[in-house]
Amino acid sequence: MKYEKNQYSEGFSICALIIAGAFLYWGITSFIPWDRWSWWGFISSGIGIAILLSQIFAITNRSKLRNVVLAEFQVNPEATIDNVSKSTGITPKDIQAIVLDLKARGELRGKFNTTTGQIKHLSIPEKEVLTEERAKYCSNCGTPIKKDAAQFCAYCGAQI
């Protein structure tokens, strides 16, 4: 997973799904009845499938980014948005959106200090608290890192 600027807040779009549906409909209906111009349906169907796949990728990538930010707050319970941004490489705009999503899902509870910006009264529900083998997550791909001595991610090779 390679992170791009504002990927979390701007990566997924309902409009893109509607456009993908329109292209798919246009492509499929051009096949019936088959004539000499029906091959154009392959092009519009391909565009629709490409848009649909990009939106599916955006959804799966969002969960990885949420895991990375949640792990950062577990490791550093008094972190600020800027601290998490610097340590993960995710933009502050995306981290703010992720924090709101984590709070809405009930996976992160706490308030931010209005003067310092540090999170205070951080609590993570029992079902989400990791065991003694506290897993770290790769800031590049979001894969859990289970070995404490690991310096590089086993999945993507990025430095931890």
- Structural domain including 116 reads 7-145
Tell whether 158 is covered by a domain.
no
pTM above 0.85, yes or no: no
Q: Structural domain tally of the chain?
A: 1
Q: How far apart are CA 49 and CA 59, in angstroms?
A: 15
**Which CATH number characterizes residue 18's domain?**
1.10.10.10
| 67 found inside a domain | yes
Residues 6 or more apart whose CB falls under 8 angstroms from that of 61 comprise 1, 7, 8, 11
- Written as tens digits, the pLDDT of the chain (160 aa) is 566 666 676 777 889 999 999 999 999 888 887 777 778 889 999 999 999 998 988 888 888 888 888 888 888 888 888 888 898 888 888 888 898 888 888 888 888 877 788 877 676 665 544 444 445 777 777 778 877 788 877 766 777 7
Residue 48's closest CA among 14, 27, 24?
Answer: 24
How far CA 8 is from CA of 5, 16, 63, 91, in Å, comes to: 8, 15, 10, 9
The answer to whether residue 160 is domain-embedded is: no
Asked if residue 153 is part of any domain, the answer here is no
Task: Count other Cβ atoms within 10 Å, centred on residue 141.
Answer: 17
Domain-located, residue 152: no
Whether 159 maps to a domain, the answer reads no
Domain contains 45:
yes
